[in-house]
Structures are given as C-alpha cells and as structure tokens.
Amino acid sequence: MNTAYRLAGQSALVTGAARRVGAQIARALHAEGANLMIHCHRSLEQAQRLAEELNRARSGSAEVLRADLCDLAQLAPLVNHTCDRFGGLNLLINNASSFYRTPLGSITLEQWQDLMGTNLQAPLFLAQAAAPHLRRSRGVLLNIVDIHGMRPLLEHALYSTAKAGLIMLTRALARELAPEVRVNAIAPGAVLWPESGMDEQRQQRILRHTPLRRSGSAQDIARTVLFFAADAPFVTGQILAVDGGRSVAW
C-alpha cells in the first residue's frame, strides 16, 4: 500500500454504494487507499460490478454486502462483517436513501416506515453499532442529508422530515461520540435529478434559483466526503451544503 494515499489502510462502510452518488463516494475513498464495504439492497448486480472494478485496481480491497436497512436485525451485522473483513472500521458513510412524493392526504404507514427507516432509523442504529469501532480508530461518521431537511420540499413532507431528523442526529452524535469520533453531514442540492424523472421546466426553475446557475455532480459530493474524511481534523457537528448556493437564495 502506498502510504502517500490519504486513507491508506483505512476501511469504510458506505450504504447505498452500488450506484449514483454512493458509487462515486466509494470510488473516491478507494482511490485514496481505503478498503470498501459496498452495501446495497436491490442493486446487487451493480454493486458486484463496482466491487470487481475496485478489486481490479487493488486486489481484495472491496466486498459487497446486501441488506434491507429497514430491518434492524440486518444493521449490526453490516458493521461487524466490515470489521471482521478489514480489521476494523474507520469511516461510516450513511448515504442510502428512499425518495419519493408523499402528498398530504395520501400518506401511508408503509411510506412512513420506509422513508423514516432508510433516512433516519438506519443511520441511527448503524451509528450505534459502529460507535465502539469508530472510537477505537478515532474515525469519522458522515451522513448524507439534503437541503430539503432544512427547507421542506412540496409534497415530500415525510422525506423532508426524515432528513431534518438526520441533521439533528448528526449534531447529537457529534456530541455523543466526541472526542474520539468526528460526525458531520453533507447536504446536496441539485446534483443528480431523481431517477423517477423531472420535467425540463422544473429543472430549469431549480437552476434559476441556484446562484451558480448549474447542477452539481456526484463528484462534488465525493470530494466533500474526502474533505471530511482526510482534511478536516478540527471539524465536527457541521452540515455542509453542496448546492451551488441554492440554500441561501431560495
């Protein structure tokens, strides 16, 4: 291992790492020397392809674990297996998230359990399982939140509320896990458009309210993850908006 890499020999568990932003985070961490546990739920094929890609670059450096994050019984084993496989845990990145409309009047208990489960419940219980290991390694916990956890998105009351809870959880854990563990969050703006689709008119309206007048990229989030993981030793309890300025010009 080249010790010039900023994360040489460290291990990371990234939830929802098979595709989109999660996959880019995994690649960025791996490129800096980290070993990767790639969590997925339904995207097993994409996760396996990503692991193969990373293992071609560095043999034995990546593995896939499949789990339903809404099932509490599956959370601690994710952490434990990562520690067993790589000899410890340095980075926990809570990236996995459900996202869809829940207009008031049509909200169901199933939607509540899914959106709260993936966006808030799972990060809490993963953090709880990971805490002893992160304390031992003086590690880092990062939550991927959303600017809509601070400013609600119309017809997304459950999602916005779950992300608001995750923002507060980030701040609470920063106090609970100090001084050994740093806990921060990244709040993306328009980085990748929803997979369910968004019409061009709405996209342009969002960009008009973004001071930089453009969307960001998954790489923008991955670079911010690297900042918190490797270059911010005196930063904890913070929520960093990576949104082109949208949160200040709403």
* Backbone phi, psi, residue 40, to 5°: -145, 170
CB atoms within 10 A of CB 121: 20
Strands (E), the chain: 11-14, 35-40, 62-66, 91-94, 140-144, 182-188, 239-242
Residue of 30, 144, 149, 159 marked catalytic: 159
Is residue 159 part of the annotated active site? The answer reads yes
Kindly give the interhelix angle for 122-137 and 157-176, rounded to the nearest 10 degrees. 20
State how far the Cα of 58 lies from the Cα of 1, in Å rounded to an integer. 9
- How many residues does the structure list for the chain? 250
Catalytic residues: 159
